[in-house]
Structure 1
Amino acid sequence: MRVTRRRLRVGAALLVTGALVLSGCDSTGTEAAPSPSASPTPSRTFTAGAPGAGDAYFPSYGNGGYDVARYAVKVRYDPAKDHLTGTTTVQATATADLSTFNLDLAGLTVTAVTVDGAPATHRRERNELVIKPASGLVNGNGFVAEITYEGVPKPLRNETLGEGGFLHTPDGAIALGQPESASTWYPVNDHPSDKATYDFEVTVPDGLTAVSNGVPGGKASKDGWTTWKWSEKSPMASYLSTLVIGQFRITTATHRGKPVYSAVAIAANGSADSSIAETTEVADYLETVFGPYPFDAYGGVVVSDNRISYALETQSRPVYSAGFFRQGVNTEVVAHELAHQWFGDSVSLGRWEDIWLNEGFATYAEWLWAEHTRKSTAKAAFDSRYAGASAKLWKTPPGKPGAKELFSESVYQRGGMTLHALRMSVGDKAFFQIVRAWAAEKHNGTATTAEFVALAERVSGKQLDALFDAWLYGTQRPALPRRL
């Protein structure tokens, strides 16, 4: 994420109702006595799933008791009425014996819920949708929940981080935001620790384009409405999903056998088009540093709404504020958001505390891109920040910034500086081996800082606790690193 101000097994669920007693008849037809060795199956106790994923920074985000494999999101949006109707199918597996489970859904009215085809009861507790299936869900078994809903979608206001989610615009809508946004337009386990694949069908009035994540699946028109299909088959954290509806300049192509789909708001200037056109060139360079591009599609979306003053690494198709391109072509922000495709999207956070793993890598990618284009060097970027950083930057530890400082300058700049300090300590060869191994070994998964430190030590053969303690958790300027 970058701000313009540069601040920085599906199956049926089974219910075991009690002990099962084996009985039968012998060959004479007389009822046989139970075998002395037979023991009854113990009864199950079904309990409510947790209303949060257990994140220390955002305890109410996400939910517990199940793991989602796939979402199929079908929505119809009428901008003239600012009204959305939708049906979302959630394919998941229970990770506990559940009497109820929660999904995150903000503001919209639920009209029907089924679980494995049977009607389920439901209730709302603020932004939690609590679902009680007709039968309990057994730990390890798959289940399918279908939720139908409608209403006027509204953004969410985070007390510390501002507004995110579904925004009505003059010609359509934008659904975007971090750390939460998905729950404003579909029911979801809204925490990055539970990644899933997605299929989107978005129906809008003819003449509007609806852009989402992944591979475009075509469009079909009927009775004045057009349905756009998108599919993301790589696991995706929910905050990385997006929906942008409006009038755009569309560019399509194929690159290395993968579709390229970009959309630039009509109101944006030509520098936006020129910048987004560099997407595949930037991605190709980053491949030489990080390893193979991790997804099945490329692209970008530029929006002109003044409420969006940032860029976000929405998976396979980042969304950028038009403000990034008012002064001309800007490929640095493109490099930042594309780096997130590896670090943040493919390798995702297991908890929000480790946000530097996203933003530090993306910041460092900007420095590497500037070096590649001969505008500067990573060393120069590090040196200038080390010499001129504000006192606040050193007081805020990027490895544990706190919820209020999640997108602080320290997370971005000290995050990038931590990586350069690692490079200075272990040398170029080991450093880039670490980076590529991290992207490869955590591909399509989630990760923590402790895992990154362990991998860096394994690959480099060096003991690095002191280095990371100083650069990630210290509250004063560390000494310049030396080669270990």
Structure 2
Amino acid sequence: MRKRMRAGAVVVALGVLGAVPAAADPAPGAPGVGDPIYPRAGNGGYDVQHYDIDLRYQPATDELTGQTTLHAVATQDLSQFNLDFALKVTSVRVGGEPASFRVDAADKTELIVTPGAPVAQGRPLTVTVDYADIPSQVQVDGVQVWHRTETGGVSIGQPRSSETWFPANDHPSDKATYRVSATVPAGTTALSNGVLTSPSQPVPGWSRWEWRADEPMVSYLPFIALGKYELNEGVVGNKPYYTAYDESLREVLPTAKEAIERTPEITDFLSSKFGPYPFGSLGGVATTGWNSAIENQTRPVYGTLFEVGKDGTWVVAHELAHQWYGDSVALADWSNMWLNEGFATYGEWLWSEHRGSGTAAELADAFYAKYPAEDAFWQLKLWPGTRLFASAVYERGAMTLQALRTEVGDDTFFRILEGYHSKYRGGHATTPDFIQFAEDLAGRQLDALFQTWLADPVKPATGPNGTPVTTVKHLPVMDEMIHGHHSAHPH
């Protein structure tokens, strides 16, 4: 399954006796971080610490102008570097000085910047990009990630959404803090992550909204929603609480409200299983123009996926579980996607168990029985993963956790979930990290279990609860559950 390496096992040769290594010439940063699934995602040569994003938006025409400043640190001597961005750029400055720039001819989302002078390794890298475009006319990898609504627009998606509203180092490995400011016509609301500062009126007829996210997040988790919303503000457990509803939701509005306004209750329940909620604010946004949901940090965004009269708390539980697994503990790279979606799906199952609609064990067996042995569902390896949004990533991922629960017992299992989050909170983790943590806490090898449920391209001989599953009753809750298969990318 994996190789274990002990600290101190690697010796680094520092040089030949008396030799002084020559200083390397400044070089371009890599156009990607070498992700196993998306090799060109992100960029090499720098690490972003903070984004300052200032926007001006006209809902009637979907015209967006912006200025984003990246506060980064060079991780090598840089002669040139890339940013991930798809809108039309008007100017770039590095360290306050004009820099030349061009768009990669083959990849229209690669903005290549050449500063007037190289930036030395370890030095601050401050990059300011000015831009203007109509984002709904721009696609990223052939996918629409900026969505027009009846009253404005919203940018949401995974694995890539930042390219339609701010330039970024767009890979999960680079977390940063954010300040998002948007100036919009009076009567229009601008929504984003974190905590809202008081809206102001810079000029008559316009309002300015500013949101601050002081807890680092990866670049697909920030969002911007601009339009006519009912915004509700409150305090839950000493944390700012925001919910917002697009006025054009119409007949589905009551159902969306009923589900999303249970966010505090569901958060409290998940906290009892995963440990304390990891962020300083919470809430949710319901919008139009998009038919899915995504776990934007502190504020999941729900599209037009709620059905009138149906219980929608399942998708709320899914996206809130991501606040621990995916947002707080982020992926080191995309090949570990089951750590996001398998955990969030298991959050749904725990919520079902709590509600008395079907235990996690019953759901695991039911999903196991749903797919015959010859189904392609069982042929997809979850780690190292090759696809992000396949059903197996969600459902077999959750079955893996139930198999672990069966193996180690409830007490150890929930200590594993809480301890894993606590250890990697605010950072990144991999599948080997999780397996090693589970083994250490359980006090025994678990290689065979994880090999069976994550890697073997066959249906396990027995179900997640360790017994043959030949006849499993259909659980109505399975029809109600929404597994958050994000529609922002076809893979």
| Pair in the same fold by TM > 0.5 | yes
1:83 aligns with 2:63: yes
The separation in 2 between residues aligned to 1:114 and 1:337, in whole angstroms, is 37
Choose which of 334, 347, 352 in structure 1 pairs with 2:316: 334
Report if the CA contact (8 A) 1:164-1:178 is conserved. no
| CA deviation profile, 1:120-150 (whole Å, cap 9, x unmatched) | 1211112111111122111122221111111
The separation in 2 between residues aligned to 1:130 and 1:386, in whole angstroms, is 47
Q: Which has the larger strand fraction?
A: 1
Report if the CA contact (8 A) 2:181-2:210 is conserved. yes
Report if the CA contact (8 A) 1:71-1:199 is conserved. yes
Which residue number corresponds to residue 275 of structure 2?
291
Q: Which runs of 5+ in 1 are unaligned?
A: 1-38
The separation in 2 between residues aligned to 1:457 and 1:479, in whole angstroms, is 23
The separation in 2 between residues aligned to 1:353 and 1:324, in whole angstroms, is 30
Task: Give the structure-2-normalised TM-score.
Answer: 0.86
Which residue number corresponds to residue 109 of structure 2?
127
1:322 aligns with 2:304: yes
Choose which of 234, 239, 250 in structure 1 pairs with 2:215: 234
CA apart distance, 1:99: 0.4
Which residue number corresponds to residue 67 of structure 1?
47
1:276 aligns with 2:256: no
Say which one has the larger Rg. Answer: 1
Report if the CA contact (8 A) 2:295-2:301 is conserved. yes
Q: SS of the residue aligned with 2:298?
A: coil
Choose which of 175, 178, 182 in structure 2 pairs with 1:202: 182
Q: What is the correspondence of 1:45-444 to structure 2 with a 5 Å cutoff?
A: 45-106=25-86, 108-125=87-104, 126-153=108-135, 154-158=137-141, 163-221=143-201, 222-268=203-249, 269-305=253-289, 308-390=290-372, 391-403=375-387, 406-444=388-426
The separation in 1 between residues aligned to 2:313 and 2:216, in whole angstroms, is 27
The separation in 2 between residues aligned to 1:326 and 1:67, in whole angstroms, is 45
| CA deviation profile, 1:412-465 (whole Å, cap 9, x unmatched) | 000000000011111111111110111111111111111111111111111011
Cα distance change, pair 79–283 in 1 and its aligned pair in 2 (3 A)? same
| CA deviation profile, 1:71-116 (whole Å, cap 9, x unmatched) | 010011112222111110101111111101110110x222221111
The separation in 1 between residues aligned to 2:90 and 2:331, in whole angstroms, is 33
Report if the CA contact (8 A) 1:426-1:462 is conserved. no
The separation in 1 between residues aligned to 2:75 and 2:307, in whole angstroms, is 46
Cα distance change, pair 76–121 in 1 and its aligned pair in 2 (3 A)? same
Report if the CA contact (8 A) 1:294-1:342 is conserved. yes
CA apart distance, 1:397: 2.0
Cα distance change, pair 61–124 in 1 and its aligned pair in 2 (3 A)? same
Report if the CA contact (8 A) 2:402-2:465 is conserved. no
The separation in 2 between residues aligned to 1:266 and 1:336, in whole angstroms, is 24
CA apart distance, 1:279: 0.3
Report if the CA contact (8 A) 1:155-1:181 is conserved. no
Q: SS of the residue aligned with 2:248?
A: coil
The separation in 2 between residues aligned to 1:401 and 1:52, in whole angstroms, is 19
Q: Which runs of 5+ in 2 are unaligned?
A: 1-18, 467-491
1:458 aligns with 2:440: yes
CA apart distance, 1:323: 2.2
Which residue number corresponds to residue 5 of structure 1?
none
The separation in 2 between residues aligned to 1:361 and 1:158, in whole angstroms, is 27
Task: Give the structure-1-normalised TM-score.
Answer: 0.87
How many pairs were matched up? 438
Question: Which of structure 1's runs of 4+ aligned residues deviate more than 6 A?
Answer: none
The separation in 2 between residues aligned to 1:190 and 1:423, in whole angstroms, is 35
Kindly provide the amino acid, as one letter, of the partner of residue 91 in structure 2.
A
